[in-house]
Amino acid sequence: MNDLPLTRVDDTTLPAFAAFLMAKAAPDVRDYLAKTDLRSLFLDRQGAEAWLQGDPQAPAAAVTLVRAPRHDGCIIVSAQILTASGGLAAADACLEVFLDREDRIAPAARLYRITEQTHQPTPAARLAARGFTRIPGLCEYRRPAGPPRPGEFVLADQALDAGYGLALFDDPAQPPDQAVADRVAAIHNRTLGARGSVADWTADVVQGRLSQPGSGLIVARRGGEIAGHILFQQMEGSILVIEACLARAHWRSGAVDAMCRLMAERVSAPRGLDVVACADVTNAASRRAMDRAGMALIAEHHLWECRIGAGVEMFPGPAVIQGPAPA
CA distance 322 to 104: 13
Indicate whether 317 belongs to any domain: no
CB 307 within 8 A of CB 111: yes
153/290 same-domain check: yes
Measured on CA atoms in the order 233, 234, 240, 241, is the torsion positive or negative?
positive
CA distance 234 to 212: 9
Indicate whether 1 belongs to any domain: no
Closest C-alpha among 99, 7, 112 to residue 55: 7
- pLDDT, one tens digit per residue, over 98-144 is 999 898 888 899 999 998 887 888 999 999 999 999 998 889 999 99
- Between CA 301 and CA 198, with CA 117 as vertex, the angle to 5 degrees is 55
200/276 same-domain check: yes
Secondary structure element (H or E) that encloses residue 88, with its range: helix 88-100
CA distance 157 to 71: 35
CA distance 325 to 310: 20
Indicate whether 315 belongs to any domain: no
Q: 274-280 and 238-246: which strand pairing? A: parallel
47/108 same-domain check: yes
Indicate whether 126 belongs to any domain: yes
Indicate whether 306 belongs to any domain: no
97/244 same-domain check: no
Q: How many domains does the chain divide into?
A: 2
- pLDDT, one tens digit per residue, over 257-307 is 999 999 999 999 999 999 999 988 888 889 999 999 999 999 888 999 999
274/166 same-domain check: yes
CB 52 within 8 A of CB 13: yes
Q: 75-83 and 110-115: which strand pairing? A: parallel
CA distance 19 to 269: 34
33/59 same-domain check: yes
167/110 same-domain check: no
CB 281 within 8 A of CB 138: yes
183/289 same-domain check: yes
222/83 same-domain check: no
**CATH number of the domain that residue 84 is part of:** 3.40.630.30
Taking CA atoms, 318 is separated from 54, 75, 82, 132, 134, in Å, by 25, 26, 24, 13, 18
Residue where a domain terminates, one of 83, 109, 130: 130
- pLDDT, one tens digit per residue, over 7-44 is 999 999 999 999 999 998 877 677 677 767 788 888 88
Give the domain range for residue 41.
Answer: 6-130
Indicate whether 148 belongs to any domain: yes
154/116 same-domain check: no
The residues near 8 (Cβ < 8 Å, ≥ 6 apart) are 49, 50, 51
- Give the pLDDT confidence score for residue 320 in this predicted structure: 39
Residue where a domain terminates, one of 130, 165, 191: 130
108/227 same-domain check: no
Averaged pLDDT of the chain: 88
Q: How confident is the model at residue 316 (pLDDT cuts 50, 70, 90)?
A: low
Indicate whether 109 belongs to any domain: yes
- pTM here is 0.71
Q: Which of 128-132, 154-158, 191-195 has the lowest mean pLDDT?
A: 191-195
146/278 same-domain check: yes
CA distance 168 to 175: 10
- pLDDT, one tens digit per residue, over 41-100 is 888 877 889 999 999 999 999 999 989 888 788 999 999 999 999 899 999 999 999 999
Q: 296-308 and 61-69: which strand pairing? A: unpaired
Residue where a domain terminates, one of 66, 96, 130: 130
- Give the pLDDT confidence score for residue 73 in this predicted structure: 87
